C-alpha cells in the first residue's frame, strides 16, 4: 500500500499544505524546526487516530487557530481508501473513513498501516519499560482492533481505580467492580502481548542474524507483571486473585501495583541481556531489527506492505546498517526526513521525490 497525497490545514506549523507522494521513496529535506516531523506526524495520525509525539489532540492545532484538518488518500492492494481527521481545540476530534464518519477510533484500524522509526526508537532497548510497552501497544493497536478496545478500556478502568484508592474511605464492593473489569481487560492484553512478542521475536531474530552476518542471535522475552496462564479464562481468574492479594499494598501506595501497565520486554543477544550489558551498537542493531520485524509481521497479518516513516534516523545509523536498511526496503513506501542531502541516500534512491520544507511550506524538485 502507499499514500498518494495529503492535505493539511492549520496542522502544527502548516497553514495549508497539499502535495502528492512518490509511491516508493520520498525524501523530506530542511533545517531543524521547519516542519519535517510535523508532516510525518500528520501522515501517521491517519493510521490509528493518534500522534506518536503527544497525547493531547489540541497540541496538533496551529496555536493561532481553533481547528485543524488532515486528509490522505491511499492505495491498497485491492482498493483505495481515504481518511480525514478534524480536530477542534474545544471538542472531540471527528474521523471520516472513505467519506463516512466513524463512531469509534477502532473502526479506523487495519486500514492505513504505518511504522514509525525515530531516534527515540534507537533507545528502546536501554530506556525505561514504558517505551517498550508503547512499542507493543502502538503496533498491536494498528492490526488488532480487539486489542485497541481492551487497552482503552483497561486504561480507563485503571485511572478510575487509582483515583478511588486515594479516597479516605474505601468500599470493597465498589472497588471490586473495577477489579473485575481490570481482570477481564488485562487478561486479554496479556494474552495478546505474549503472542505478539513470540512472533516479533522470531522475525527480529532472523533479521538481526542477517545484519550481523550470522555472528549474533537475538531473542525477545516478554516479562508480564502478572504470570502467564494457559488460556484466557484461567488468565482472567488468576489476574483477579492477584489484584485481591495486592490490595493492602495498593492501598498503602494509593495506586494499582499489579497489571500489564507494569509489563516489560527483555532483549538477549547470544544470551546476554542488552539493556544491562549491550554496547550502543548492539542496542541500535536490536532496535533496527525490531522495526524491520514490524513490517514483516504486518505483512503476515494483513497481506499489505506497511508504509515506513524514517524520522531523521538515517544519520544515527552507521553505513553498514544504512545499507542493510536500504537493501531490505524494496516493497515499502518510504518517507525519510533529513537535514542534508546525503550522497548515499541520493545514490540509493535516484528516483526519490524530493520535498524541501521551510517554515511550514514546501517546494518540490
* pLDDT (tens digit per residue) in 239-263: 999 999 999 999 999 999 999 999 9
Q: Quick one: which of 356, 351, 291 has its CA closest to 317?
A: 291
Residue 142 annotated as binding site: no
CA angle 116, 120, 125 (to 5 degrees): 100
Segment 255-293, tens digit of pLDDT: 999 999 999 999 999 999 999 999 999 999 999 999 999
Residue 160 annotated as binding site: no
CA distance 47 to 51: 9
At the topology level, CATH places domain 127-303 in Glutathione S-transferase Yfyf (Class Pi); Chain A, domain 2 (1.20.1050)
Confidence (pLDDT) at 365: 53
Which residues is 308 bridged to in the sheet? 115, 334
Residue 37 annotated as binding site: yes
Confidence (pLDDT) at 344: 75
The residues near 37 (Cβ < 8 Å, ≥ 6 apart) are 53, 311, 312, 337
Kindly list the distances between the CA atom of residue 202 and the CA atoms of 129, 160, 293, in Å, as whole numbers in the listed order.
21, 37, 8
Q: Quick one: which of 327, 302, 260, 312 has its CA closest to 29?
A: 312
Residue 35 annotated as binding site: yes
Domain boundaries, given as residue ranges, for the chain: 1-113+304-365, 127-303
Second-level CATH architecture of 1-113+304-365: 3-Layer(aba) Sandwich (3.40)
Confidence (pLDDT) at 194: 97
Indicate if 127-303 has the same CATH topology as 1-113+304-365.
no
Segment 343-365, tens digit of pLDDT: 777 888 888 999 999 999 987 55
Question: Contact, 193 vs 262, CB < 8 A?
Answer: no
CA distance 5 to 353: 13
Amino acid at each position: 500500500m502507499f499514500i498518494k497525497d495529503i492535505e493539511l490545514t492549520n496542522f502544527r506549523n502548516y497553514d495549508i499544505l497539499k502535495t502528492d507522494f512518490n509511491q516508493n521513496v520520498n525524501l523530506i529535506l530542511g533545517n531543524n524546526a521547519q516542519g519535517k516531523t510535523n508532516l510525518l506526524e500528520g501522515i501517521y495520525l491517519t493510521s490509528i487516530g493518534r500522534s506518536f509525539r503527544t497525547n493531547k489532540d489540541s497540541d496538533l492545532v496551529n496555536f493561532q487557530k481553533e481547528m485543524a484538518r488532515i486528509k490522505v488518500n491511499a492505495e491498497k492492494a485491492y482498493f483505495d481508501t481515504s481518511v480525514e481527521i478534524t480536530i477542534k481545540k474545544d471538542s472531540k476530534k471527528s474521523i471520516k473513513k472513505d467519506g463516512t464518519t466513524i463512531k469509534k477510533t477502532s473502526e479506523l484500524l487495519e486500514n492505513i498501516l504505518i511504522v514509525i522509526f525515530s531516534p527515540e526508537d534507537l533507545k528502546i532497548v536501554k530506556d525505561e519499560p514504558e517505551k517498550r510497552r508503547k512499542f507493543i501497544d502502538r503496533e498491536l493497536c494498528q492490526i488488532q482492533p480487539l486489542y485497541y478496545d481492551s487497552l482503552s478500556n483497561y486504561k480507563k478502568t485503571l485511572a478510575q481505580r487509582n483515583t478511588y484508592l486515594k479516597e479516605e474511605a474505601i468500599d470493597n464492593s465498589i472497588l471490586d467492580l473495577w477489579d473485575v473489569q481490570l481482570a477481564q481487560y488485562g487478561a486479554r492484553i496479556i494474552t495478546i502481548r505474549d503472542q505478539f512478542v513470540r512472533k516479533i521475536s522470531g522475525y527480529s531474530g532472523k533479521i538481526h542474524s542477517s545484519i550481523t552476518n550470522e555472528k549474533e542471535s537475538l531473542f525477545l522475552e516478554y516479562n508480564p507483571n502478572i504470570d502467564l496462564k494457559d488460556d484466557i479464562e484461567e488468565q482472567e481468574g488468576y489476574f483477579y486473585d492477584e489484584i485481591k492479594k495486592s490490595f493492602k499494598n495498593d492501598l498503602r501506595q494509593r495506586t494499582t501495583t499489579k497489571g500489564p501497565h507494569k509489563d516489560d520486554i527483555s532483549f538477549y543477544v547470544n544470551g546476554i541481556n542488552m539493556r544491562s550489558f549491550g554496547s550502543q551498537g548492539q542496542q541500535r542493531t536490536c532496535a533496527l531489527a525490531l522495526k524491520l520485524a514490524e513490517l514483516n509481521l504486518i505483512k503476515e497479518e494483513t497481506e499489505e506492505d506497511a508504509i515506513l516513516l524514517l524520522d531523521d534516523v538515517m544519520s544515527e545509523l552507521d553505513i553498514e546498517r544504512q545499507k542493510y536498511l536500504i537493501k531490505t526496503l524494496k516493497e515499502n513506501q518510504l518517507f525519510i526526513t533529513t537535514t542534508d542531502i546525503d550522497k548515499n541516500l541520493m545514490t540509493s534512491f535516484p528516483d526519490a521525490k524530493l520535498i524541501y520544507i521551510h517554515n511550514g511550506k514546501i517546494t518540490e524538485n
